Amino acid sequence: MSDAAAFDLVIRNADIATAADRFTADIGVRDGRIAALGSGLARGVSEIDAGGRLVTPGGVDSHCHLDQDTGDDSVMADDFLSGTVSAACGGTTTVIPFACQQKGKTLREAIDTYHQRADTRAVIDYAFHLIVTDPTAHVLERELPQLVEEGYTSFKIYMTYDALKLNDRQIIELLALARVHGAMVMIHAENADCIAWLTEALLEEGITAPIGHALSRPMLAEREATHRAISLAQLVDTPVLIVHVSGREAIEQIRWAQGHGLAVYAETCPHYLLLTEDMLEDGPRGYQCICSPPPRDEGNRQAVWDGLVNGTFQVLSSDHAPFRFEGPHGKQVAGENPRFDQVPNGIPGLETRMALLMSEGVMNGRIDIHAFVALTATNAAKLYGLYPRKGSIAIGGDADLVIWDTDRAFTLTNDALHHNVDYTPYEGWQMKAWPALTLSRGDVVWDGVQPSGTRGRGEFLPALRPQPAQPHRPLNPRIDTHRVLPRFAFPAVYRG
């Protein structure tokens, strides 16, 4: 920094919106952090005139899959370079992808592998969730406690997918461990046996087209698993976060739990707000829109909007799961016109998540700008232990910022995006806004035309133990937690 300048960077005349406040100010940045907010700030080495435009915290996308092993010949199209470049162009400055344990291997091996993939490639900051697929005694007793200590303070549990799913007993053990060590548990709630039985029945009937995917994963299978996940969490009194909730019946379970004072948090994604299952009957688009849970009908789509408006959902993530449509390693890994159950699950959305919610949520008058910030940045930062460094615009926090162009009406096309996927489910969508500038720790990583973050500049963020993951009350007083959970070392703070 030059002697005469007070800041490395000053952003002038910003219309700042956080989850709580709205005010006009200059933003002074020093060493990548916000050092001052006020009017008439002293000079910076560089200056950006926001010109009264809306400025929000950079997005925290707390559910995205990058360079994740799939278990078959399909390959994710985005690695930590293309994925984070694309995120930055869409206003996201922090991602929390997954380090997925391979059955028979340790969590430490997963962490080492995903760091190797991320550390020299990411252009924005990142943390990791663990995916626990093989909760052996070694994993539970040794690895998870140590990894939580090192900053991996959230993990995802699957109730479906043969290679990933856990049984109820395993889920209980993990919830108990999370309770003791203060980690946040994310749950993919779909009933695997219902899906397997229906899939077999549909195939026997000769139904192989993409719509079979939706028929094999009905709302009922999600509702049942959501109910069970909540019940298991209640048994152990452990907060949980239900991910990618797709419709009304699951929302009803979550609202019941929240109404009964249980710490049950919920996430949804743009595709459940904007896509419907009839798109699975639309030729190639059908394959492109296969994700789990599937997009539902119009009534469910409205119910998800209602849940966003009434506060049932705390988080809007992309669940970016990038597979190309063309080529031998994407949606058609099993050949042309594959059976619905042989299509890799997932759709891309890292780059479009924030602008879609700005356009369809804020600018269409469904939610206010504070809810937008909470859903796209602040709540995820809090739920996953990255707050207050990430998720707001406050002195001491990282200068992760988005200057918005809210006068920009345009038609979205995949050519304009920076991911490595050859389609977007939102092709032709009428957008009302897009980030004009994205800053990560004070560096411009997207200038409205070009991505500009250098490969490897993204930093790993060791996460704190999230405050919302702390249990509400002692376990059942008749249960001696030290006897029931003898394997776990109880930090004093959690002794009931």
Indicate the residue among 145 and 425 with the shorter CB distance to Zn ion: 425
Helices H, strands E: what count in the chain? 16, 20
Non-local CB neighbours of 442 within 8 Å, separated by 6+ positions: 8, 9, 29, 32, 33, 399
Q: Map tokens 């002794």 to a residue.
A: 495
Does 291 interact with ligand URP (rule: CB under 6 A)?
yes
Indicate the residue among 100 and 362 with the shorter CB distance to Zn ion: 100
Indicate the residue among 95 and 291 with the shorter CB distance to ligand URP: 291
What gap in Å lies between CA 219 and CA 227, rounded to an integer?
A: 12
What gap in Å lies between CA 225 and CA 368, rounded to an integer?
A: 32
Binders of ligand URP in range 417-436 (CB under 6 A): none
Indicate the residue among 76 and 262 with the shorter CB distance to ligand URP: 76
**Farthest-apart Cα atoms in the chain, separation:** 76
Indicate the residue among 164 and 371 with the shorter CB distance to ligand URP: 164
Distance from chain centroid for Cα 341: 24
Q: If contact means CB under 5 to 8 A according to the sort of partner, which of ligand URP, Zn ion, none does residue 345 touch? A: ligand URP
Q: Which string of x and - marks every residue 303-342 that binds ligand URP (by CB under 6 A)? A: ----------------x-x---------------------
Among 101, 345, 376, 379, binds ligand URP (CB under 6 A): 345
Among 33, 121, 129, 188, binds Zn ion (CB under 5 A): 188
- Angle of helix 219-236 relative to helix 248-259, nearest 10 degrees, comes to 20
What gap in Å lies between CA 403 and CA 11, rounded to an integer?
A: 10
In 341-395, alpha helices (H):
353-357, 369-373, 379-383
User: Cβ distance 156 to 129 under 8 Å?
Assistant: yes
Indicate the residue among 338 and 346 with the shorter CB distance to ligand URP: 346
Tell me the pairing of strands 22-30 and 33-38.
Answer: antiparallel
Q: If contact means CB under 5 to 8 A according to the sort of partner, which of ligand URP, Zn ion, none does residue 308 touch? A: none
Q: How far is the CB of 267 from Zn ion (least distance, A)?
A: 10
Among 117, 181, 188, 248, binds ligand URP (CB under 6 A): 188
What gap in Å lies between CA 29 and CA 383, rounded to an integer?
A: 26
Q: Map tokens 């479009």 to a residue.
A: 352
- The DSSP symbol for 271 reads H
Q: Which string of x and - marks every residue 130-169 that binds Zn ion (by CB under 5 A)? A: ----------------------------------------
Indicate the residue among 292 and 424 with the shorter CB distance to ligand URP: 292
3-state secondary structure of 342: helix
Q: How far is the CB of 309 from ligand URP (least distance, A)?
A: 23
What's the number of CA atoms in the CB half-sphere (13 Å) around residue 442? 21
Indicate the residue among 237 and 319 with the shorter CB distance to ligand URP: 319
Indicate the residue among 159 and 209 with the shorter CB distance to ligand URP: 159
Q: How far is the CB of 489 from Zn ion (least distance, A)?
A: 30
Binders of ligand URP in range 226-245 (CB under 6 A): 244
Tell me the pairing of strands 410-411 and 430-431.
Answer: antiparallel
Q: How far is the CB of 363 from ligand URP (least distance, A)?
A: 27
Indicate the residue among 58 and 346 with the shorter CB distance to ligand URP: 346
Does 351 interact with Zn ion (rule: CB under 5 A)?
no
What gap in Å lies between CA 240 and CA 222, rounded to an integer?
A: 16
User: Cβ distance 452 to 444 under 8 Å?
Assistant: yes
Does 320 interact with Zn ion (rule: CB under 5 A)?
no
Indicate the residue among 76 and 251 with the shorter CB distance to ligand URP: 76
Non-local CB neighbours of 363 within 8 Å, separated by 6+ positions: 406, 432, 433
Q: If contact means CB under 5 to 8 A according to the sort of partner, which of ligand URP, Zn ion, none does residue 291 touch? A: ligand URP
Determine the size of the site formed for ligand URP (CB under 6 A).
9
Q: How far is the CB of 9 from Zn ion (least distance, A)?
A: 35
Q: How far is the CB of 164 from Zn ion (least distance, A)?
A: 9
User: Cβ distance 101 to 134 under 8 Å?
Assistant: yes
User: Cβ distance 93 to 82 under 8 Å?
Assistant: no
3-state secondary structure of 182: coil
Non-local CB neighbours of 167 within 8 Å, separated by 6+ positions: none
Stretch that binds Zn ion, among 170-178, 246-254, 314-322, 398-406 (CB under 5 A): 314-322
Among 67, 319, 400, 443, binds Zn ion (CB under 5 A): 319
Token pair, residue 86, equals 């694309």
Q: If contact means CB under 5 to 8 A according to the sort of partner, which of Zn ion, ligand URP, none does residue 360 touch? A: none
Residues that bind Zn ion (CB under 5 A): 188, 319
Residues that bind ligand URP (CB under 6 A): 65, 188, 244, 291-292, 319, 321, 345-346
